[in-house]
Amino acid sequence: MSETSRTTSGNLPPAQPPASNGMDPSGAAPTPERKRRGGFARFVKWAVALILLLLIGAGVVIYVYLDPIVKRTVEKQATAQLNLKTELDRAHVSLFGGQVDLNQLRIASPQGFQAPQMFTLGQADVRAKVSELRNDPVRVSNITLNQPRLVVENNGGTFNFKKAMDLMPKTEQNPADKSAPLKVVIGDLTVKDPTVVVRPGQLNVPGLTLPEEITISIPTVTLKNIGTGEGSENGAAIKDVVMQVITVMASQAANSGKLPKELQGLMNLNVQQMAAGLTAEARKRIVEALPGEAGRIVSEVLADPNALLKNPGEVVGAQAERLKGQAQAEAEKRVGGALERIGIGGGSTQPASQPATQPGDRVKQEAGKAIEQGLGGLLNRDKKDKDKKPNR
């Protein structure tokens, strides 16, 4: 062996065999603390993963079952409180967005009216925390009713919305599942781009011909602080909220300027009678939301809320006199124009109380008598209906 080889090998430590049994090359055992730390970290990771899976699973269960629960609750509560079949195609609850979407709501017409549904709604956007949906009353920051549609139908002088009010239970009604009647507190209730379809029926006014339907688009309106006023400390019932919306829409349509005076007056009579059956808080919210003539019609009820209930003849009679004058003037105008076109007389200054001598005057007076008889029959029928009701 050369000198160089001896020198190099003499300076190196002896070679160690590779470790094949997990031992440290020096022969020492592995550090116990390092193994324990690695096992605890894996345990924490698995625990976190398991918790996440449980949360996701719970969220899926809630997502799957909460929507049908809300749908059934809306249908059962509205049907029981309104005494009208109410259907909802779909409800969707956003767990993290604080919103509930209600799609395709339908409220049936009262018996005796032809329209299958009195009120329909494509979509309602409800802003509320999921936790507040379980409160009593349910608290909602705002609701937007998008493009609701109200069918107003006349049958013998009574409109379907007034009939619906008459048929509502006078006391709180539990749904079929015996759950407590639902009440709500709503910050803002916006009725956005509503439409009212008026079916005037037969008015029996000479010279007046009406189409089967009159479609009226009315302005957006917002009702505020529903279920928070005096007498509503526990919120407003579903039926009161629905009737407030219907009253607002019917009143706006009646005073839109798109209906003949005869039909406008008759609708306003029904609106006032309906408003008299609402709570004082509901009437106040309606008046605050309605502008102009529509608000005045309802505000007249506030002066004596029980007038229509105690003595409807006086209130209806006063409104009927106003309606009769409007209707008679309108009828005479139409009849006079028709007579002039066929060459029978023109305008006349002869008082209506004196016997008519001219053909045109006779026709006008007969038209006025027909109007009086029609309105008189309506008032007498209401009086008879009232007399038939047993005293309680």
Q: Is the pLDDT of residue 360 over 90?
A: no
The most confident of the ranges 45-59, 151-165, 224-238 is 151-165
- 91: pLDDT confidence band, cut at 50, 70 and 90? very high
What pLDDT does 391 receive? Answer: 47
Q: Per mean pLDDT, which range of 135-144, 148-157, 241-250 is the poorest? A: 135-144
pLDDT in tens, 301-350: 555 555 544 554 454 445 555 555 555 555 555 555 555 555 544 444 44
**pLDDT at position 347:** 47
Q: How far apart are the C-alpha atoms of 207 and 145, rounded to whole Å?
A: 39
Distance CA 342, CA 363 (A): 13
- In angstroms, the CA 183 to CA 366 distance is 53
> Would you say residue 58 has pLDDT above 70?
no
pLDDT digits (tens, 9 = 90+) for 272-292: 888 888 888 888 888 888 877
Of 214 and 317, more confident: 214
Residue 319 in tokens: 């409104």
Token reading at 377: 């029959």
Contact 181, 80 (CB under 8 A): yes
Torsional sign, CA 62, 65, 68, 69? negative
Contacts of 359 (CB under 8 A, 6+ apart): 339, 344, 345
Whether residue 368 has pLDDT greater than 90: no
DSSP 21-47: SS--TTSPPPPHHHHHHHHHHHHHHHH
Q: How far apart are CA 354 and CA 365, in angstroms?
A: 10
